[in-house]
Amino acid sequence: MRPTQQIYSDYTAEDFSVWRTLYERQMPQLNAHACSAYLGALDTVGFSADRIPDFSIVDTILSPLTGWGIHVVPNISAAPEFFGYLSERRFTATCWLRTMAQLDYIEEPDMFHDVFAHIPLISDPAYCRFLEGLGRIASVYRDDAARLELIGRFYWFTIEFGLIREAGELKIYGAGIISSAGETLHCMGDDCEIRDFDIDAILATPYRNDIIQDTYFVIDSFEQLYQSLSRVESAMK
């Protein structure tokens, strides 16, 4: 059974090796292609290759900055639960790590995705305002599977697989890209479609979660994401 709370002493030598391997493999690419907000946030939360993050310490860093914290879950949460926690300023995260044999692909997110890729930007106020606002919209429709699917699609093409412009260059902020060596190289290549941020287009674009993505949407700022929430809310009515 996977743990439902983080007990730091339970991590094995393989866990530390997996964390270090993934961290050191990703950072050269991220230093070149990740947005400055994410790279700066890594320092803010104190992440490093030689230490798996201790959630209790991370919470003490996040709380005075944005009022957010980590809520530990055993595996991926159902949409109503996941968005409900976002509305309460809690990001759900697993505390288990893939094995060395699973470095390149796992069927569901582990803590390298949930924590390494997502948590640093939880220190950014504008990013958090968007997450909380989207969570509140989703909570209104927690019993409406069709609308939750659309909101999940919007989350997918922004928080999971979004790109951002910085000084005229494309940079990564989506956690699904940040945690994936293959996705990082792919989204910066020529074999995918890069589209300007468009709420209607995003809501009309289906996706698969078991393949490298072929379409990415580009924002200009996290404030733009936050300002888009009123239109997202209107689209749900």
Mean pLDDT along residues 117-139: 98
- Torsional class of 201: left (φ above 0), alpha (ψ -120 to 50), beta (otherwise): alpha
For residue 3, is it within any domain? no
* CATH assignment at residue 141: 1.10.800.10
State the average pLDDT over residues 136-164: 97
Q: What is the pLDDT of residue 2?
A: 56
For the residues 5-33, what does the mean pLDDT come to? 92
Q: Would you say residue 3 has pLDDT above 60?
A: no
- Global pTM reads 0.95
Look at the chain and report how many structural domains it folds into.
Answer: 1
Cβ atoms of 148 and 142 closer than 8 Å: yes
pLDDT band per the 50, 70, 90 thresholds, residue 1: very low
- Would residue 187 count as lying in a domain? yes
206 found inside a domain: yes
Write down the mean pLDDT value for the chain. 95
- pLDDT surpassing 80 at residue 4: no
Residue 169: pLDDT above 60?
yes
The reply to whether 230 falls in a domain is yes
Q: What is the DSSP letter of 122?
A: G
**Domain annotation covers residue 2:** no
CA-based nearest residue to 95, from 43, 134, 50, 58: 58
Residue 19 lies in domain: 8-235
Residue 5 predicted with pLDDT over 90: no
Domain assignment present for 46: yes
* 62 within domain boundaries: yes
For 31, 74, 176, the CA distances from 1, given in Å and listed in that order, are 36, 8, 25
DSSP for 54-120?
Answer: -HHHHHHHHHHHHS-EEEE-SSPPPHHHHHHHHHTTEEEE------GGGSS--SS--HIIIIIIIGG
Residue 100 belongs to a domain: yes
Give the H or E element holding residue 26. helix 13-33
